[in-house]
Amino acid sequence: MSRRAAAAGSQSSLREANRVLVVETVKRYGGLTQVELATATGLSQATVSTIVRELLAAGVVDTANTTRSGRRAQMVTLARRVGLAVGVQVGHRSLRVVLGDFTHEVIAEQSLPLPAGHRVDTSLDRVALLVVDLLERVGATLEDVVGLGVGLPAPVDSSTGMVSVAGLMPGWDEVHVGQVLSKRLGRPVYVDNDANLGAVAESTLGAAREFGDSVYVRVSHGVGAGIVIGGQLHRGAGGTAGEIGHVPVRFPGEPCRCGNSGCLDTVAGATPLLGGLRDSHGVLALRDVVQRANEGDQRCAQAVADVGSLVGTVVAGLATAVNPQVVVVGGELADTGEVLLRPMREAMRRHVLPNQLVPLDVVGASLGTRAEVLGGLVLALQSTDVPLRVDADEVGLVEQA
């Protein structure tokens, strides 16, 4: 929402604040009746009714008739404009789905915890059902969806939508993920690597928006990177560009899922990280480590910092090859902020070719842990050919034929 500054305390600033409150509330719940909006915001029915009318005229929200407890009611949702897109992120331990429109405004989202080593059939079934459930939540149908962008934690051959390196996601490398989902949902599905999607999102909407050349580094259960050159995502011939989790750093090292040994993932991935904390802290989940590091637990913070140094050394090599203007760091561990970023930045300063003209910046992802799933949304929208004439101030939008 763009907010023009009005004098604080004035009538118009109050109305503007209320308008923002209403929009934020609708966004949070996906769809609400006007009565529910009044109770959820604490505003009077009359105020809500006025604001909804204004927002409707400005094309910000849509209204539809519905029933609640047997009574007629006005359902308020964010305007769907020309169509909806779906972003999906399949992670090692969770699934995220967002619905958004062509303004990149997220109108509904839900995450779902997944078991370790989850099965491809069960998880894709859950993706399909979750998408339909979320559409229902905002009063939309599959017809409204222009496409789905799906991120996987493995390199993906984007022309076939299949995992391009066997062994990284056991069971998934045999399955044509894009085809399974597009057959099931009847909509176009675009599959890509999760770090690539994070790179797309951060370079379109986030911290790398102002730069042509950027690298997005995802530090989560595994480590990956997405490379943007001249504003375009560089996937590589087989989709494995930026797979820094499989750069060898230990000789000889532990065997890796990819078949090599000593890969970055074998020393900086979740398994060695959690394994190293097991004696002192017992069994932890990755988000426990983040929570504890943020609460000042020294051992957890040190473990995260060690990951930062290791990843920074490898990213320095990548940065020397690509020479980006900025390195954006996302993934769950980036939620520790400087705990991860400082040692990573220091390792990069030591190892990257110093450039006085364009110093390299290392920053946290401005979209946080939603970068990848939003990248899925952006990918689906970018892959859809719709001549757009959407403007927030424009009233009466033309539905595409």
Partner 1 sequence: MSSDVPLLSMRGITKRFAAVEALVGVDLDVHAHEVVALVGDNGAGKSTLAKMVSGVLAPDAGFIEIAGEQVTIPTPTAARGLGIATVFQDLALCENLDVTSNLFLGRELRLGASRDDSRMEQIARQVLRDLNSRIPSVRSPLSSLSAGQRQSVAIARTLIGSPRIVVLDEPTAALSVAQTAEVLVHIERLRDLGLGVILISHNMTDVRAVSDRIVVLRHGRNNGTFDAAAVSHETVLAAITGATSAELTPRSLPPLSPLLR
Q: Which residues bind partner 1 (CB under 8 A)?
A: 28-30, 32, 36-37, 39-40, 68-69, 93, 95, 110-119, 122, 126, 129-130, 133-134, 137, 281-283, 285, 287-288, 291
- How far apart, in whole angstroms, are the C-alpha atoms of residue 101 and residue 81? 7
Shortest Å, Cβ 134 to partner 1: 6
Element (H, E) at 21: helix 11-29
Of 295 and 385, which CB lies nearer to partner 1 in the complex structure? Answer: 295
Of 134 and 311, which CB lies nearer to partner 1 in the complex structure? Answer: 134
Shortest Å, Cβ 282 to partner 1: 4
Q: What share of the chain is helix, strand, coil (3-state, %, to 5)?
A: 40, 20, 35
Cβ atoms 228, 234 nearer than 8 A: yes
Shortest Å, Cβ 321 to partner 1: 35
- How far apart, in whole angstroms, are the C-alpha atoms of residue 158 and residue 380? 13
Shortest Å, Cβ 341 to partner 1: 23
Shortest Å, Cβ 281 to partner 1: 6
Shortest Å, Cβ 70 to partner 1: 9
- How far apart, in whole angstroms, are the C-alpha atoms of residue 323 and residue 358? 9
Cβ atoms 81, 388 nearer than 8 A: no
Task: Give residues with Cβ within 8 angstroms of 35, minimum separation 6.
Answer: 45, 68, 73
Of 124 and 215, which CB lies nearer to partner 1 in the complex structure? Answer: 124
Whether omega before 354 lies within 30 degrees of 0, making that bond cis, reads no
Of 30 and 312, which CB lies nearer to partner 1 in the complex structure? Answer: 30
222 secondary structure, DSSP code: S
Token code pair at residue 127: 């993706």
Backbone angles phi, psi at 148, to 5 degrees: -125, 135
Cα four-point dihedral sign 178, 184, 185, 187: positive
Of 122 and 400, which CB lies nearer to partner 1 in the complex structure? Answer: 122
Token code pair at residue 158: 């984007």
Of 4 and 71, which CB lies nearer to partner 1 in the complex structure? Answer: 71
Helix axis angle for 270-281 and 286-294, nearest 10°, is 60
Of 32 and 152, which CB lies nearer to partner 1 in the complex structure? Answer: 32
Shortest Å, Cβ 203 to partner 1: 29
Backbone angles phi, psi at 362, to 5 degrees: -120, 115
- How far apart, in whole angstroms, are the C-alpha atoms of residue 312 and residue 342? 10
Of 74 and 193, which CB lies nearer to partner 1 in the complex structure? Answer: 74
Rg of the chain on CA atoms, in Å: 23
- How far apart, in whole angstroms, are the C-alpha atoms of residue 105 and residue 78? 9
Shortest Å, Cβ 185 to partner 1: 14
Of 133 and 174, which CB lies nearer to partner 1 in the complex structure? Answer: 133
Shortest Å, Cβ 175 to partner 1: 17
